[in-house]
A and B are shown apart, each in its own frame.
Chain A
Amino acid sequence: MARIVVDPVTRIEGHLRIEAQLDGGTVSDAWSSGTMFRGIELILRGRDPREAWIWTQRICGVCTTVHALTSVRAVEDALGIEVPENARIIRNIIAASQYVQDHVIHFYHLHALDWVDVTLALKADPGKTSQLAESISSWPKSSRNYFKGIQDRVKALVDSKQLSLFSSGYWGHPAYHLPPEANLLAVAHYVEALEFQKDFIRIHAVLGGKNPHLQTYLVGGMSTAMDPNEPQATINPERITFLEELASKAQAFVDQVYIPDVLAVASFYRDWFGRGEGLGNFLAYGDYPQGGIKDASRFFLPRGVILNRDLSNVHPLDPKNVAEYVTHSWYEYSDGDNAAKHPFQGETKPKYTGPKPPYEYLQTDEKYSWLKAPRYEDMPMEVGPLSRMLVAYASGHQEVKDLVNGVLKKLNAPATALFSTLGRIAARAIEAQLMARYVSKWIGELGANLGHADLRVHNGEKWDPDTWPREAQGFGFHEAPRGALAHWVEIEDKKIKNYQAVVPTTWNAGPRDGKGQRGAYEASLLKTPIADPERPLEILRTIHSFDPCLACAVHVVDARGRRYLVQKAS
Chain B
Amino acid sequence: MLPSNQTLSGALQQKGVNRRRFVKFCTAMVATLALPPRYVAQVAAALEKARKPVLVWLQFQDCAGNSESILRSSHPSVLEVVLDLLSWEYHELVMAGAGHQAEAALERVVREEKGKFIAVVEGAIPLADGGVYCTIGGRTAWDIARHVCGSAAATIAAGDCAWDGGLVRANPNPTGAVGIEEAVPGAKVINLGGCPQNPANTAAVLVHYLTFGELPAMDQFNRPLFAYGRIIHDQCERRANYDAGRFVQEWGDEGHRKGWCLYKMGCKGPQATFNCPSVRWNDGTSWPVKAGHGCLGCASHRFWDTRSPFYDRLPTVPGFGADVTAGEIGLGVTAAVAGATVIHGIASAVRDRMRPPASPEPPTKA
Contact = CB atoms under 8 A, between A and B. Distances in A.
A64 B62 CA distance: 13
Given A47-B309, A205-B286, A357-B138, A194 B71 contact: yes
B90 to A, nearest CB: 8
Contacts of B180: none
B310 A207 contact: no
Contacts of A10: 92-98, 102
Contact of A35 (B71, B93, B134, B258): B134
B97 A167 contact: yes
B36 to A, nearest CB: 29
Contacts of B285: 202, 205-206
Given A224-B292, A226-B257, A60 B63 contact: yes
Interface string B235-264: 000000000000000111000111100000
A354 B82 CA distance: 37
A492 B291 CA distance: 31
Nearest to A352: B132
B105 A207 contact: no
Contacts of A566: 128-130, 132
Interface residues of B, number: 104
Given A38-B133, A234-B290, A563 B251 contact: no
B314 interface: no
Contacts of A515: none
A423 interface: no
Contacts of A152: 14-15
A164 B308 contact: no
Question: What bracket does the count of chain A residues touching chain B fall in?
Answer: 35 or more
A113 interface: yes
A285 B174 CA distance: 31
A198 B52 contact: no
B308 A60 contact: no
A112 B244 CA distance: 55
A227 B288 CA distance: 18
A212 B11 CA distance: 30
Contacts of A161: 2-4
B83 A13 contact: no
A7 B82 contact: no
B257 A227 contact: yes
B101 A356 contact: no
A11 B93 contact: yes
B325 interface: no
Nearest to A161: B2
B68 A64 contact: yes
Interface of B: 2-6, 11, 14-16, 52, 54, 59-69, 71-74, 77-79, 82-83, 86-89, 91-105, 124, 126, 128-141, 143, 167-168, 170-175, 177, 195-196, 250-252, 256-259, 280-283, 285-293, 296, 304, 308-311
Given A38-B61, A165-B82, 6 more contacts: A8-B103, A8-B137, A62-B65, A205-B281, A212-B196, A221-B251
